[in-house]
Amino acid sequence: MVAQAEDVIPQRSPLMAFMARWLLTTNHKEIGTLYLWLSFTLFFIGGAMAMVIRLELFQPGIQFAEPLFYNQMVTMHGLIMVFGVVMPGFVGLANWQIPLMIGAPDMAMPRLNNFSFWILPFAFTLLLSSLFMEGGAPNFGWTFYAPLSTTYGPPSTDFFIIGVHMMGISSVLGAINVIVTIFNLRTPGMTLMKMPLFVWTWLITAFLLIMVMPVLAGVVTMMLTDRHFDTSFFSAAGGGDPLMFQHVFWFFGHPEVYILILPGFGIASQIIPTFARKRLFGYHSMVFASAAIAFLSFIVWGHHMFTAGMPVWVELSFMYATMLIAVPTGVKVFNWVATMWRGSMTFETPMLFALGFVILFTIGGFSGLMLALVPADFQYHDTFFVVAHFHYVLYPGAIFGTMAAVYYWIPKWTGNMYDERLGKIHFWTAVIAVNLTFFPMHFTGLAGMPRRIVDYSLQFADFNMVSSVGAALLGMTQVLFLYIVIKTIRGGAKASTRVWEGADGLEWTVPSPAPHHTFETPPAFPPIMDENESTSLNE
Amino acid sequence: MISMSNGLRNCLTLAFLASFSTLTFAVEFDLREGVTDMSQRIQDLHHLSLAVCVVVGIVVFGAMFYSIVAHRRSRHPKPADFHESLLVEIVWTTVPILILVGMAIPATTTLLEIEDNSDPDLTILITASQWKWHYQYLEADIGFYSNMTTPTAQINNLEPKGENYLLEVDNPLVLPTNKKVRFLTTSNDVIHSWWVPDFAVKQDAIPGFINEAWARLDQPGLFRGQCAELCGKDHAYMPVVVEVRLEAEFDKWIDDQRLAKELSSGQAVADRNKTWTMAELMPIGEQVFLTHCATCHESTGVGQGVTYPALAGGEIPNGPLEVHIDLVMNGKGGTEMQSWAPQLSDRELAAVITYERNAWGNSTNDVVQPKTIYATR
Ligand code: HEM
Ligand SMILES: [Cu+2]
Ligand SMILES: [Cu+2]
């Protein structure tokens, strides 16, 4: 955010210089900043779509959105949030932090890094432009099941397909960069089993990305040929199989949901020890649990298809494998609690968000476990119970995780402390709003409200109204967050090098703000932390 | 506003209840108990897993909150420095596994029973299409469509909403008590999902494939559900209504349906032998159009953008008659314009085509006769 313009060619006009700096930059910090702003911008766009959804669902009847438009909103909201907000947000954090945390001067492939980022604004422009096309934007849900998305898809589906390809290329290139950086640029002495957990979880995430993004690319390519080149991969009339679409999609889709959460696990594992002033409990088991989750994520995809008609032994296998994921996930939660146990905790904003993450994510994990039971899933599937479940893991998981990370590291990025009072207000309103919005969805779902419906019968009215009120509040908290971030960039109490009293790790040995170039020579590891020096704010 | 404060109150009550008991929820917070053996066992399973989650949650969050209170810096200024314990890790890996096994066993036995589709007494073939259900009684050779009947005025908030808003149909599926009824589901276009919460039956209807499910009902009543898989624009308007009747009444109903079928085929013969006038056909045509076509083409025939073409002044309604008849009867493959020949009678088809050719400023003066339709079939 504040970065010196030292290597910008001097004789250009200020505008050109600005453009050249951001368009051509190969600096991991600047690229990280770009990713984070892109993610934040799309968060407002995807959030505005959520507001349209909740406005329409405020009351039974059609008020603001016609059915076809509603379906477009639901689809674009899901796509933007998953591919445009959470993924670029985490990549932005990776860009900023991985080199700083492993003592590397930059990412291993800086030009590739620039390219990976600059694909994205074009991909999302393409995707969003479909809203203005004849026939409207994609309207088949973020899971784009065939044949609704193939034979019956609107013309803009092709733009969606190209957009997904571009995002996929960006993600794979970004992931390769992360892997190469972590394997080659660690400072001497930092063995794999000494890496910070954020780096570990990102390494695992990067492998997941490399394995599943090509599958996504494959499935959209099959759609494209089904739509235009007379193939019948997914059309029973031509000898294909619509269910195969679901298998291929979810083979990508389930690992994808762990892509959306693993870096969040890493963030919580950095923040909780800092503010508990105690080392992370069970480092090794944390690493193994992350790897186990990643492995299991490849053999559970069928739990999204229990009502699609599978042989009973297949259903049972997917059920057992899914239940098994609860074990490593539980281990992580227990380890976080054990880290807090008999620590000496303070509750600055990053810690609050990390704790909110742990608690609310665990609630989402519980409903996930319930969804794994096949007979019960016959009732829960495709209802608002599922919407409640995945928002409990995504909102407090991915979004709270990212926000915790921003509060935690922004003093290092900008050199300024954020406004602690506003940060706390932000946290508490967000927690209240998230629960007000998403908790009632459990009940509407259990009472029988299907998801992706524009209008509902009268029995669901009360809880939907509560949800919509919560959503409005949740929308407002984002504006507060934006204000806090801008205020921090523009000024505030100066941050020290270590920033947090309990902070540990290489990133806390460089000055705040981190200079444009850091670790041009590999630093000593383990780092020597300055005991007396911190700007920790309270308690 | 009143209902909002109700909602809020509900929410608070719930938070209160949830923290004390898992089994005494007020009905509206809970999964429906339903009316079949299976739906009840599924509800038990739901309670079991919810109880497990609540207990585990109390333990884990309890420890966490205790720690947050007791181990804050003001109370506990010097942090301990333990950070590893193999024993503890083994314990909190194995204990959850045991709990999971305890949940997997009832889930497995219930599932095995649910998936036992053998020996049905009665089979219904459920065929979905955008956005209605067709029910075929395979043994009795009876079949009919089931469409939502909620008026658009209610949906557009021009009239007060009825009690069964969005959950009412013209022809409910009628089923007998005390029989094992097998449901076969399939689809003519996109994927839909047939769901009756009270039976705990949710089965996807997939084009080109047939899925199975079953239910045994022991009490008469009306049960309502909805399509559960996104199937396009009117996915929200695809209710399922099932009327369960005592066995004897059901048998009588089947006989009545058979008779009606014969009558209507007698009716069809009469229709064919008659030469209809424009004045007779137009009102019938308008009715058919409003019921079946207006959701896409709009009641004024103006269509909706490029997705649903305008019929007022449209090319086909003003073009050659045979093309128009063919399109309406056979639809257009790969688009939402489906084939109407199996869904409408000769008279209805003749009337709706006549209507399209002479309404909203179209003035071909063509009058289509039922016998023409019959000959084209
Ligand atoms: C402002 C907060 C948010 C609100 C009020 C909100 C609301 C909703 C609602 C009501 C639906 C269901 C619509 C329906 O099924 O008819 C939905 C779907 C969805 N949301 Fe959100 N959401 C929010 C934030 C997020 C975030 C942060 C993510 C991801 C990180 C996300 C991911 C999704 C996904 C993947 C779907 C499924 C879309 C589909 O069915 O195809 N949402 N959201
Ligand atoms: Cu999954
Ligand atoms: Cu549907």
Q: Let me know if A487 is exposed, middle or buried by CB neighbors in 10 A (0-12, 13-18, 19+).
A: middle
pLDDT surpasses 80 at B371: yes
For residues A30 and A514, the answer to whether their CB atoms sit within 8 Å is no
List CB contacts (< 8 A) between A134 and chain B. Answer: 305-306
List CB contacts (< 8 A) between B100 and chain A. Answer: 323-324, 326-327
Q: Let me know if A532 is exposed, middle or buried by CB neighbors in 10 A (0-12, 13-18, 19+).
A: exposed
For an interface test with B, which of A193, A249, A315, A344 has the most B Cβ atoms less than 10 Å from its Cβ?
Answer: A344
Interchain pair A243, B209: CB under 8 A: yes
pLDDT band at B332 (very low <50, low <70, confident <90, very high): confident
pLDDT band at A144 (very low <50, low <70, confident <90, very high): very high
Residue B214 bridge partners (DSSP): B182
C-alpha radius of gyration, chain A, whole number: 23
Q: Let me know if A112 is exposed, middle or buried by CB neighbors in 10 A (0-12, 13-18, 19+).
A: middle
DSSP summary character for residue B99: H
Spatial separation of the C-alpha atoms in residues B230 and A378, rounded to whole Å: 16
Spatial separation of the C-alpha atoms in residues A320 and A469, rounded to whole Å: 38
Interchain pair B76, A370: CB under 8 A: no
- Average pLDDT estimate for B8-26: 44
Question: Do B144 and B127 have their domain in common?
Answer: yes
Nearest by Cα to B346 from B315, B307, B308, B372: B372
Spatial separation of the C-alpha atoms in residues A461 and B254, rounded to whole Å: 38
Atom of ligand 1 nearest to the CA of A86: 30
Residue B15: per-residue pLDDT: 46
Nearest by Cα to A2 from A287, A415, A370, A420: A415
Residue A382: per-residue pLDDT: 95
Give the amino acid at B35. V
Q: How many residues does chain B have?
A: 377
Question: Which residue's C-alpha comes closest to atom 33 of ligand 1?
Answer: A78
Question: Do B93 and B131 have their domain in common?
Answer: no
List CB contacts (< 8 A) between B68 and chain A. Answer: 340, 345, 347, 355
Average pLDDT of chain B, as a whole number:
88
- pLDDT, tens digit, 9 for 90 and up, residues B335-365: 889 888 888 888 899 999 999 999 998 888 8
Q: Is A77 a catalytic site residue?
A: yes
Which among B6, B14, B92 is the nearest to A330, CB-wise? B92
Residue B295: per-residue pLDDT: 87
- Number of Cα atoms under 13 Å in the Cβ half of residue A387: 30
- Pairing type for strands B239-245 and B173-176 reads parallel
For every residue of A350-395, DSSP letters joined together read HHHHHHHHHHHHHHHHHHHHHHHSHHHHHHHTTBHHHHHHHHHHII
pLDDT surpasses 50 at B19: no
Render the burial of A277-288: b for 16+ CB within 10 Å, e for the rest.
bbbbbbbebbbe
Which among A154, A308, A323 is the nearest to B104, CB-wise? A323
* Residue A521: count of CB within 10 angstroms of its CB: 7
**What CATH number should be reported for the domain holding residue B234?**
2.60.40.420
For every residue of B4-25, DSSP letters joined together read HHHHHHHHHHHHHHHHH-SS--
Q: A94 Cβ partners below 8 Å, 6+ apart?
A: A32, A174, A178, A202, A263
- pLDDT, tens digit, 9 for 90 and up, residues B183-226: 999 999 999 999 999 999 999 999 999 999 999 999 999 999 99
Spatial separation of the C-alpha atoms in residues A39 and A260, rounded to whole Å: 13
Question: Do B184 and B136 have their domain in common?
Answer: yes
**What is the 3 state secondary structure string of B154-182?**
HHCCCCCCCCCCCCCECCCEEEECCCEEE
Q: Is A142 a catalytic site residue?
A: yes
Nearest by Cα to B213 from A385, A246, A448, A374: A374
Average pLDDT of chain A, as a whole number:
92
Residue B169 bridge partners (DSSP): B148
Give the amino acid at A263. P
Q: Please give, rounded to a whole number of angstroms, the shortest distance from the CA of A101 to a CA of chain B.
A: 21
- pLDDT, tens digit, 9 for 90 and up, residues A518-535: 999 999 888 887 765 555
Counted across chains A and B, CB pairs separated by less than 8 A come out at: 313
Residue B83: per-residue pLDDT: 85
Question: Which residue's C-alpha comes closest to atom 27 of ligand 1?
Answer: A395
Domain limits for position A230: 2-509
Q: Is A254 a catalytic site residue?
A: yes
For every residue of B180-230, DSSP letters joined together read EEEEEEEESSS-EEEEEGGGTEEEEE-BT--EEEEEE--S-EEEEEEE-S-
Residue B12 lies in a domain: no
**What CATH number should be reported for the domain holding residue A374?**
1.20.210.10
Question: Do B237 and B284 have their domain in common?
Answer: no
Residue B159 lies in a domain: yes
- Structure tokens of A237? 């009339």
Q: Is A170 a catalytic site residue?
A: yes
Residue A223: per-residue pLDDT: 95
In chain B, the residue whose alpha carbon lies closest to the alpha carbon of A238 is B208
Q: Among B68, B88, B114, where does a domain finish?
A: B114
**Top mutation candidate among A81, A254, A403 for ligand 1, by most atoms within 8 Å of CB:** A81
H-run or E-run covering B143: strand B142-146
Is the minimum CB–CB distance between B32 and chain A shorter than 8 Å? yes
For every residue of A137-158, DSSP letters joined together read S--STTTT-TTTTTTT--TTHH
Spatial separation of the C-alpha atoms in residues B112 and A152, rounded to whole Å: 36
pLDDT surpasses 50 at B17: no
- pLDDT, tens digit, 9 for 90 and up, residues A102-140: 999 999 999 999 999 999 999 999 999 999 998 899 999
Residue B17 lies in a domain: no
Q: Is A467 a catalytic site residue?
A: no
pLDDT surpasses 60 at B20: no
Spatial separation of the C-alpha atoms in residues B233 and A288, rounded to whole Å: 46
pLDDT surpasses 70 at B12: no
Indicate the number of domains in chain A.
Answer: 1
- Expressed in angstroms and rounded, the spacing between residue B192 Cα and the centre of ligand 3 is 5
Interchain pair B50, A370: CB under 8 A: yes
User: Longest Cα pair distance anywhere in chain A, in angstroms?
Assistant: 73
Is the minimum CB–CB distance between B204 and chain A shorter than 8 Å? yes
**What is the 3 state secondary structure string of A32-45?**
HHHHHHHHHHHHHH
Question: Do B257 and B158 have their domain in common?
Answer: yes
Spatial separation of the C-alpha atoms in residues B257 and B245, rounded to whole Å: 15
Indicate whether residue A437 lines ligand 1 (CB < 6 A).
Answer: yes
Give the amino acid at A74. V
Adjacency order of strands within the sheet including B192-196: B173-176, B239-245, B221-227, B192-196, B201-205
- Number of Cα atoms under 13 Å in the Cβ half of residue A206: 21
Question: Which residue's C-alpha comes closest to atom 34 of ligand 1?
Answer: A78
Residue A158: per-residue pLDDT: 94
Residue B338 lies in a domain: yes
- pLDDT, tens digit, 9 for 90 and up, residues B161-188: 999 999 999 999 999 999 999 999 999 9
Residue A78: per-residue pLDDT: 96
Indicate whether residue A100 lines ligand 1 (CB < 6 A).
Answer: no
* Residue B208: count of CB within 10 angstroms of its CB: 17
Residue A292: per-residue pLDDT: 95
Residue A390 lies in a domain: yes
Of residues B32 and A213, more confidence is placed in A213
Residue A253: per-residue pLDDT: 95
Is the minimum CB–CB distance between A538 and chain B shorter than 8 Å? no
- pLDDT, tens digit, 9 for 90 and up, residues B181-192: 999 999 999 999
Render the burial of B347-357: b for 16+ CB within 10 Å, e for the rest.
bbbbbbbbbbb
List CB contacts (< 8 A) between A324 and chain B. Answer: 100
Residue A387 lies in a domain: yes
Residue A535: per-residue pLDDT: 53
Tell me the C-alpha to C-alpha distance, in Å, between residue A60 and each of A66, A75, A386, A482, B220: 13, 21, 20, 33, 29
Question: Do B236 and B133 have their domain in common?
Answer: yes
Residue A517 lies in a domain: no
H-run or E-run covering B132: strand B132-137
Atom of ligand 1 nearest to the CA of A467: 5
- Expressed in angstroms and rounded, the spacing between residue A299 Cα and the centre of ligand 2 is 9
Question: Do B136 and B220 have their domain in common?
Answer: yes
A239: left (phi over 0), alpha (psi -120 to 50) or beta: left
**What CATH number should be reported for the domain holding residue B80?**
1.10.287.90
**Top mutation candidate among A39, A54, A74 for ligand 1, by most atoms within 8 Å of CB:** A74
Residue A257: per-residue pLDDT: 94
Residue A298: per-residue pLDDT: 95
Which among B67, B76, B232 is the nearest to A337, CB-wise? B67
Residue A149: per-residue pLDDT: 93
For residues A27 and A113, the answer to whether their CB atoms sit within 8 Å is no
Question: Do B144 and B254 have their domain in common?
Answer: yes
- Expressed in angstroms and rounded, the spacing between residue A253 Cα and the centre of ligand 2 is 7
Residue B65 lies in a domain: yes
Q: Please give, rounded to a whole number of angstroms, the shortest distance from the CA of B302 to a CA of chain A.
A: 15
pLDDT band at A11 (very low <50, low <70, confident <90, very high): low
| Residues in the 5 Å CB sphere of ion ligand 2 | A 254
Indicate the number of domains in chain B.
Answer: 3
Q: Among B87, B114, B141, where does a domain finish?
A: B114
**What CATH number should be reported for the domain holding residue B304?**
1.10.760.10
Question: Do B238 and B135 have their domain in common?
Answer: yes
For every residue of A250-289, DSSP letters joined together read HHHHHHHHHHTTHHHHHHHHHHHHHHHTSPPTTHHHHHHH
Nearest by Cα to A332 from A391, A288, A376: A288
For residues B351 and B288, the answer to whether their CB atoms sit within 8 Å is yes
- Average pLDDT estimate for A229-249: 92
Q: Is A442 a catalytic site residue?
A: no
Interchain pair A375, B68: CB under 8 A: no
Interchain pair A307, B228: CB under 8 A: yes
Spatial separation of the C-alpha atoms in residues A304 and A534, rounded to whole Å: 48
* Residue B255: count of CB within 10 angstroms of its CB: 11
pLDDT band at B2 (very low <50, low <70, confident <90, very high): very low
Q: What spatial distance separates the first Cα and last Cα of chain B, rounded to whole Å?
A: 56
pLDDT band at A345 (very low <50, low <70, confident <90, very high): very high
- Expressed in angstroms and rounded, the spacing between residue A305 Cα and the centre of ligand 2 is 10
Question: Which residue's C-alpha comes closest to atom 3 of ligand 1?
Answer: A50
A492: left (phi over 0), alpha (psi -120 to 50) or beta: left
The Cα angle at residue A123 between residues A388 and A137, in degrees rounded to 5: 60
Residue B6: per-residue pLDDT: 47
Residue A518 lies in a domain: no
Interchain pair B111, A312: CB under 8 A: yes
User: Longest Cα pair distance anywhere in chain B, in angstroms?
Assistant: 99
Residue B25 lies in a domain: no
Is the minimum CB–CB distance between B191 and chain A shorter than 8 Å? yes
- Average pLDDT estimate for B37-42: 93
For residues A78 and A451, the answer to whether their CB atoms sit within 8 Å is no
Is the minimum CB–CB distance between B166 and chain A shorter than 8 Å? yes
ipTM over 0.85: yes
Give the amino acid at A73. M
pLDDT band at A7 (very low <50, low <70, confident <90, very high): low
Interface of A with B in 224-243 (CB under 8 A): 235-237, 241-243
Question: Which residue's C-alpha comes closest to atom 16 of ligand 1?
Answer: A452
For residues B143 and B137, the answer to whether their CB atoms sit within 8 Å is yes
Of residues B306 and A363, more confidence is placed in A363
- CA dihedral (A331, A333, A334, A337) in degrees, to 10, reads 160
- Structure tokens of A363? 């609630």
Q: Is A303 a catalytic site residue?
A: yes
pLDDT surpasses 70 at A320: yes
List CB contacts (< 8 A) between B107 and chain A. Answer: 319, 373-376
Q: Is B93 helix (H, G, I), strand (E, B) or coil?
A: helix
Interchain pair A242, B206: CB under 8 A: yes
Spatial separation of the C-alpha atoms in residues A359 and A348, rounded to whole Å: 17
Residue A348 lies in a domain: yes
Q: Among B114, B146, B177, where does a domain finish?
A: B114
Is the minimum CB–CB distance between A350 and chain B shorter than 8 Å? no
Is the peptide bond preceding residue A96 cis, with omega within 30 degrees of 0? no
Domain limits for position B52: 31-114
Interface of B with A in 126-145 (CB under 8 A): none
Interchain pair A324, B166: CB under 8 A: no
- pLDDT, tens digit, 9 for 90 and up, residues B109-154: 999 999 998 889 999 999 999 999 999 999 888 899 999 999 999 9
- Expressed in angstroms and rounded, the spacing between residue A50 Cα and the centre of ligand 1 is 6
- pLDDT, tens digit, 9 for 90 and up, residues B223-278: 999 999 999 999 999 999 999 999 989 988 988 888 788 777 788 888 888 888 98
DSSP summary character for residue B274: S
Among the listed residues A56, A256, A348, A419, the single catalytic one is: A256
- Pairing type for strands B132-137 and B180-187 reads unpaired
